[in-house]
Amino acid sequence: MKPRDAVVPSASRGAYRLSANKKRAKLEKQKESAARDRESRSRDGALIERVRDADHEARRWLGQHFLVDASVVRDAIEAAALREGDAVLEIGPGTGNLTSELLKAGASVLAVEKDRNLAEKLRSGLCAEYEGRLTLVEGDFLKWDGLATAFERKTPGQPRAKVVANIPYNITTDVLKVLLPMGDVFEDMIFMFQEEVAQRLVRDDAGGGDYRAMSVRVHYYSKPYYIRPVPPTCFMPPPNVDSCLIGFRPKEPHELLPLSGTEKQFFTFVQACFAQKRKMLRNNLKAVCDGDTMEAALAMLDRGEKIRPQELKMEEYVRLFNFIRERDRRD
């Protein structure tokens, strides 16, 4: 006979039943989830329809992959933290899926589109619909000489412009080289990047095999941050690689580490240090300074004589550059 106070094993209990209030809450949650799914599918459908209405065959040589996932567009807008009246630069607006949402968020957009056919469709579509708030430049962004005059340079504390763009992956490095030094113009940059490249640039822990000269440049000029992955299915046509949203917060000029030379000289120096990445740093330094200076510089770093280029962080490259430049001046 079972003792009166014995605990009945859970397996022998009846099915757990929700209270009436919990049932209602669960049903409401299911309804809300279903509504969000319907809205998301509807918004995705609208983006797909916009691409189809453009009647444009994507040009692979231009890296055209049109974004058709509404959740990715929403997350890009949210990451940019747009305010009413913000000035935004968009590179490669394509069929206008991202452009439209930027405008709906209240931004004034300057978009640079290389494809003549797509530029014409944007002029007759969104430019007419948002006259005065969408400025379209037809041309190659990397050859466009109007950037310096299109956006006003700000003094510290003033609101700066932003960049939100789904750029072709084959020009990401070149675009960053142009925009990252403009910390007195842009306060935040949201890009679509190839996942592998983004992961490499976000990391600031030197020592990995994928750490390189561009990593030093990115961290000198900005604070990069990862936002979210974006699978190939989010595009028409889908790319052959995984993508992601990545952000860069450019540093204002007064936030940059001081250099004993120009920024161009510094990055030329960094590139020389990475000339033969698999070799020790001392071997690469022979091309930029004499033996005595090299030995003194390595002693100053106090990282050992076998240190390799990818093992130094951005701040150490600044120290190394400044030390060698100042020693050369004394000599």
Q: Which CATH architecture has domain 60-255?
A: 3-Layer(aba) Sandwich (3.40)
Helices 20-53 and 97-104 meet at what angle, rounded to 10? 120
Instruction: Assign a CATH topology to domain 263-330.
Output: Helicase, Ruva Protein; domain 3 (1.10.8)
Distances (CA, A) of 194 to 115, 222, 225, 243: 21, 19, 14, 4
What is the torsion angle, in degrees rounded to the nearest 10, for the CA atoms of residue 225, residue 227, residue 229 and residue 235? -110
Structure tokens at 216: 């030093």
Q: Which run of H or of E encompasses 196?
A: helix 195-202
Could you say which residues of the chain have pLDDT below 70?
Answer: 1-18, 22-23, 25-43, 207, 331
The answer to whether residues 54 and 24 touch, using CB atoms and an 8 Å cutoff, is: no
pLDDT at 16: 55
For residue 110, give every residue at least 6 positions away whose Cβ sits within 8 Å of its Cβ, in sequence order, or none: 87, 88, 89, 90, 135, 137, 150, 151
- Where are any strands of DSSP class E within the chain? 66-67, 87-91, 108-113, 134-138, 161-165, 186-194, 222-230, 235-236, 243-250
Can you tell me the distance from the alpha carbon of 89 to that of 108, in angstroms, rounded to the nearest whole number? 9
Instruction: Output phi, psi for 225, to 5 deg.
Output: -150, 145
Can you tell me the distance from the alpha carbon of 142 to that of 255, in angstroms, rounded to the nearest whole number? 26
**Ranges of each domain in the chain:** 60-255, 263-330
| pLDDT tens per residue across span 276-330 | 877 899 999 988 999 999 999 999 999 988 899 999 999 999 999 999 999 878 7
Neighbouring CB atoms inside 10 A of 271's CB total: 15
Burial grade of 134 (CB within 10 A; 0-12, 13-18, 19 or more): buried
